[in-house]
């Protein structure tokens, strides 16, 4: 069994560009065209560029709340306002600079330009982890990099719709039936970043193998590979190489299950997220005792 990943170089993408056509053209050059059964993976950043989802921070007027948060975090009030404008709820605060200071995040293992790293951290000392619809984002997914000073890109809000739209256009342009996944990069404390599927169309998102019988006839606890995220991570091997200018990847030879389900079918509501945290805390106290709770407050 063999799966192939083709990185697609695109010219600089600008607002109102025809992204589907640019991808189809690149596929002709670099992957022998688009074929039936391909999975087309596109970074959310390039979708934001094509649809013009860019914010000039100078145009943002910070609210009292943004000013108060900025006063405590030392961040830019306009940027914080832009994060709040693009969030439904702030879930918690990740004190990035503090975790670097305390050596939990070991920045020297993630950087060959330590001075630049500290400059970047000074600009974003705290990260707001927010809920946006049913998805979790750091700083609402706003992204400074490779934009002029003072400009950030915003991920599109319902990425399933954009995935569906691009899939439809690819069919019109090429006559080929593909699945489309739109991805976004999220950073992890101390473990680097991974790419996640934020929108999809035409592919079963999660393998439905929970409870299937194993070789010994026992029902399986598991068997629920998140295919969409796995494809996002596979593609990140190519799109992550920013110097190469590869914002799209064709995954060929992977036999996915065709489906009209999409990423939003697996999203948790804000209440469900809070309920999950509550139930975890309740069970942990109940089973491990109250001393479990204190472990996080007392050294």
Structure tokens at 51: 């649809």
CB of 264 to a second copy, least distance (A): 12
Q: Which is nearer to a second copy, 172 or 224 (CB)?
A: 224
- Report CA torsion sign: 196, 194, 75, 143: negative
Query: Which CB sits closer to a second copy, 3 or 15?
Result: 3
Token pair listed for 224: 């629920």
Residue closer to a second copy by CB (options 15, 219) is 219
Query: Least distance to a second copy from the beta carbon of 162, Å?
Result: 20
Question: Cβ of residue 183: shortest distance to a second copy, in angstroms?
Answer: 11
Measured from the CB atom, the residue of 7 and 156 that comes closer to a second copy is 7
Q: Judge whether 184 and 208 are in contact, CB under 8 Å.
A: no
| Distance from C-alpha of 217 to C-alpha of 220, rounded to nearest angstrom | 9
Beta carbon nearer to a second copy, 165 or 186: 186
Nearest to 264 by CA among 167, 160, 152: 160
In 10 A of CB 110, how many CB atoms?
15
CB of 173 to a second copy, least distance (A): 23
| Least Cβ distance, residue 166 to a second copy (angstroms) | 21
Read off the tokens for 119.
């400059």
Rounded distance between C-alpha atoms, residue 190 and residue 172, angstroms: 44
Placement of tokens 């942990």 in the chain: 284
């Amino acid at each position: 069994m063999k799966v192939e990943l083709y990185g697609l170089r695109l010219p600089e993408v600008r607002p109102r560009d025809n992204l589907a056509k640019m991808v189809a053209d690149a596929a002709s050059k670099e992957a022998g065209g688009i074929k039936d059964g391909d999975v087309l993976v596109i970074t959310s950043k390039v979708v934001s560029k094509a649809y013009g989802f860019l914010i000039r921070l100078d145009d943002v007027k910070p609210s009292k709340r943004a000013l108060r948060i900025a006063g405590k975090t030392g961040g830019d009030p306009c940027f914080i306002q832009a994060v709040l404008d693009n969030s439904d709820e702030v879930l918690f605060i990740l004190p990035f600079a503090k975790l670097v200071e305390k050596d939990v995040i070991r920045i020297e293992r993630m950087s060959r330009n330590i001075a630049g790293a500290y400059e970047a951290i000074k600009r974003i000392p705290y990260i707001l982890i927010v809920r946006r619809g049913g998805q979790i984002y750091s700083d609402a997914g706003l992204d400074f990099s490779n934009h002029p000073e003072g400009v950030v890109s915003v991920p599109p809000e319902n990425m399933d719709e954009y995935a569906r739209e691009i899939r439809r256009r690819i069919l019109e342009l090429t006559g080929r039936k593909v699945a489309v996944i739109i991805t976004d990069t999220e950073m992890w404390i101390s473990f680097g970043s991974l790419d996640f599927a934020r929108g999809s169309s035409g592919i079963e998102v999660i393998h439905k193998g929970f409870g299937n019988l194993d070789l010994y006839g026992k029902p399986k606890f598991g068997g629920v590979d998140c295919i969409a995220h796995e494809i996002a991570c596979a593609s990140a091997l190519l799109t992550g190489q920013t110097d190469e200018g590869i914002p799209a990847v064709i995954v060929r030879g992977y036999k996915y299950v065709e489906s009209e389900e999409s990423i939003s079918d697996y999203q948790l509501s804000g209440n469900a997220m809070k309920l999950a945290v509550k139930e975890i805390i309740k069970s942990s106290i109940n089973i491990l005792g109250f001393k479990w709770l204190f472990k996080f407050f007392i050294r």
